Amino acid sequence: MFRLLACLLILTSFASQAQKQLVLLKNGKPVGRYVEGEYVYFVMKDGTQRQGAILELLEFAAIISVAPKADTSRLVPVDTIHYIKTQKILIPKDERRGIAPLLGGLLATSGAVYLGLDLVNSALGYNPPGVDTGVVVTSAALMGVGSSLIFIRPKYRRVGNGTIMRTVEYGSKFYKGS
């Protein structure tokens, strides 16, 4: 009876613990979040690349499996990733944000507005009739560069220079429930 009670007590204590999260913080704000079991890709400061599913998050390191994504059913070799030795980490596709798409949208819109204003000025008689060649070239350059910038997204998040990696638990202000 004592063994059964002890076993139930241990199981409930494990169930009551919340899952840890690996959080990337930039200027005190979370910019990336990874949970145990998620597949991650690290580039280390010595140039090596490490990838695998997060098995456990420690205070200053992450333990990952080094098996392929599909092969998680059997025992796999593990690797320890120290946060201090990490240069950059892959950002999931749905979380990739940057300033380049905003700047691209601004440039493409300004190119179209510039051409439209020249056409309106020509129609109202402020400019000679027709489209000026310089305006077309400038407008095409603005729209071309802007439309190419719209699709650029950062693939990695650099660690350092204001971005730090931390393991957080349930009580932290950076913890986000699912």
Separation between Cα atoms, residue 116 and residue 109, nearest integer Å = 10
Question: Which pLDDT does position 95 carry in this prediction?
Answer: 66
Question: Which pLDDT does position 152 carry in this prediction?
Answer: 82
Question: Which pLDDT does position 3 carry in this prediction?
Answer: 53
Burial class (CB in 10 A: 0-12, 13-18, 19+), 119: middle
Q: Other CB atoms closer than 10 Å to residue 143's CB: what's the count?
A: 19
Question: Which pLDDT does position 26 carry in this prediction?
Answer: 84
Give this prediction's pTM. Answer: 0.60
Q: What is the pLDDT of residues 78-105, one digit of tens each?
A: 788 898 898 988 877 666 677 888 899 9
DSSP 91: P
Question: Which pLDDT does position 69 carry in this prediction?
Answer: 59
Q: Are strands 29-35 and 78-82 parallel, antiparallel or unpaired?
A: unpaired
**In this model, does residue 2 exceed pLDDT 80?**
no
Q: What is the pLDDT of residues 31-43, one digit of tens each?
A: 888 888 888 888 8
Helix (H) or strand (E) holding 30: strand 29-35
Separation between Cα atoms, residue 119 and residue 113, nearest integer Å = 10
Separation between Cα atoms, residue 56 and residue 82, nearest integer Å = 12
Alpha helices in the chain (DSSP H): 2-16, 100-124, 133-150
The fold adopted by the segment(s) 2-94+154-168 is SH3 type barrels. (2.30.30)
